[in-house]
Amino acid sequence: MKVLIILPNWLGDAVMATPAIEALCEHYPHARLTLVGSYVSIEALKHHPFCENAYVDETKKKGSRLLNTYHFAKKIGRHDAAISFRNQFYSALLMRWTGTLRTLARKSWHASMLLSDSVEMSRELHLVIQYQMLSDTLCGTHTSPSPLRLFITAKKFDKPVLGLNPGATYGSAKRWYPEKFAAVAAHFADRYDIIIFGGPGETEMAGAIEEALNALGIKNYQNLAGKTSIEELCSYIGGLDLFITNDSGPMHVAAAYQVPTVSIFGPTRHLETSQWKNRKSTIVRHDIECAPCMKRECPLGHHECMKLIGAEEVIEAINKLLSGI
């Protein structure tokens, strides 16, 4: 059974698709998967034992995307079935042009026009459940999503390690403040070594945390922002003993490894994108009138959904979480 899977672009969304992929592989135990996605999603998921081919989708880089998609589809070739976790015209077109007869995605005008099947679903459901509905439709099953899963080996540290993730690729509105991350880390620095994470575009925030830690006299930290590959990022996060993070891709990576996690939510819907089935997790957020707004930047200019969350609240949340583990 050859199955073409078009992954979500974002790291966190790709990780949230893993229960649906596992359900598909359980239903088709001899499945041979072809994965198509962004660079980050492929780097995270290409280690799946059923993955036979993995392609980074570069159809929009140069020239005509329409023509590029056609040639890419012919390179991929026909499969027994194809499923897209992206709600996008070119993804539907790619599946159609591979010549695959059974094709499936979320219901939209382009899915209805180009694919053999489409699924209508509420966006108020957790994203993991939305993805599972697609997999269930393809398999003709009705299953409950399993925990998230990655096949990258977690790193083993010599000492307990606390990870900080101040970034969030989606936009600045999702980011808590560096000085507050530093204050929380300093409180626990006698129990944990500290690692600061971040992508290439988040080194400034990580540097601000580093400066704040230095000012507080904390030296047992390591700043890895902009210095890890996706595989290394997943491995390091998988080996943590505690993680403090914004709503972000690394937050979902931590859930895949059941890392004790405190997630800080502001403008995004925690019921849709919170950690899935991490028994060792908690959320810190404030119920204010304008949240969740789902904007990349605060449209009102005050950012109170994040500013009102204090370091003391997060420290309290960590203590409660650790006492219950």
- pLDDT tens per residue, range 49-75: 999 999 999 999 999 999 999 999 999
Say what percent of the chain tops pLDDT 90: 85
Give residue-wise pLDDT tens across range 95-125.
999 999 999 999 999 999 999 999 999 988 9
Higher-confidence residue of 266 and 256: namely 256
Q: Which residue has the tokens 């993991």?
A: 128
Residue 183 has pLDDT above 90, yes or no: yes
Q: Within 10 Å of residue 159's Cβ, how many Cβ atoms?
A: 9
Cβ-proximal residues to 287 (8 Å cutoff; 6+ apart), any chain: none
pLDDT of residue 304: 83
Q: Where are the beta strands (DSSP E) in 166-280?
A: 193-196, 221-223, 242-246, 261-264
Residue 170 has pLDDT above 80, yes or no: no
Buried-state track 89-100, b at ≥16 Cβ within 10 A, e below 16: bbbbbbbbbbeb
Q: Per-residue pLDDT averaged across 25-37, rounded?
A: 97
Higher-confidence residue of 266 and 73: namely 73
Q: Where are the beta strands (DSSP E) in 147-252?
A: 161-165, 193-196, 221-223, 242-246
Residue 48 has pLDDT above 90, yes or no: yes
Phi, psi angle pair for 85, to nearest 5°: -90, 5
| CATH topology classification for 161-323 | Rossmann fold (3.40.50)
Q: Kindly report, as residue ranges, where domains of CATH 3.40.50.2000 are found in the chain.
A: 2-139, 161-323
- H helix or E strand, kind and range, residue 115: none
At the fourth CATH level, which superfamily is domain 2-139? Glycogen Phosphorylase B; (3.40.50.2000)
Model confidence, pTM? 0.95
pLDDT of residue 168: 67
- Asked if residue 222 lies in contact with residue 196, where contact means CB atoms within 8 angstroms, the answer is yes
